[in-house]
């Protein structure tokens, strides 16, 4: 898959692409394809950055993915929305952590641990 240019896409299209890439990432995890997972991570970051760069920070659009059936989609959405909706994102991470859907449950648990310590603090970019 070629890397997409997120700039001309609508917010809705970016959210759809976020789901597609997250599902591909889940397949890469299940196949133990680290290189594929990492490439998809980079593409997800491009989408996240494109949403953030839009006037009003459109990462809020990813909150709708908290109801998605895929734990990977929910995990990625929670991670992407930590800065714009920290309480909701943390709640989603807790739900995933307690879900026993591995490896996402472990990732969510480690993120919560990092949030509770001084390891990771989502900060807002100064505009």
Domains along the chain with CATH numbers: 11-116 (1.25.40.70)
Long-range contacts of 22-25, Cβ-Cβ distance < 8 Å, separation of 24 or more: 22/70, 22/72, 22/73, 22/76, 22/77, 23/70, 23/72, 23/73, 25/72, 25/76
What is the model's pTM?
Answer: 0.86
CA 98 to chain centre: 18
- For 34-86, write each residue's pLDDT tens digit: 888 989 999 999 999 999 999 999 999 999 999 999 999 999 999 999 999 99
Show the tokens assigned to 10: 């609508």
What CA–CA distance (Å, rounded) separates 88 from 66?
Answer: 9
Tens-place pLDDT, residues 82-107: 999 999 999 999 999 999 899 999 99
């Amino acid at each position: 898959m070629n890397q997409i240019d997120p700039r001309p896409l609508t917010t809705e299209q970016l959210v759809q692409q976020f789901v597609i890439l997250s599902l591909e990432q889940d397949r890469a995890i299940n196949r133990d394809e680290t290189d594929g997972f990492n490439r998809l991570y980079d593409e997800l970051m491009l989408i996240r950055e494109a949403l953030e760069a839009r006037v009003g920070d459109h990462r809020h659009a990813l909150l709708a993915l908290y109801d998605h059936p895929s734990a990977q989609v929910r995990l990625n959405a929670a991670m992407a929305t930590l800065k714009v909706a920290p309480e909701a994102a943390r709640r989603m991470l807790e739900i995933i952590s307690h879900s026993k859907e591995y490896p996402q449950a472990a990732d969510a648990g480690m993120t919560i641990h990092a949030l509770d310590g001084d390891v990771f603090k989502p900060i807002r970019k100064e505009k």
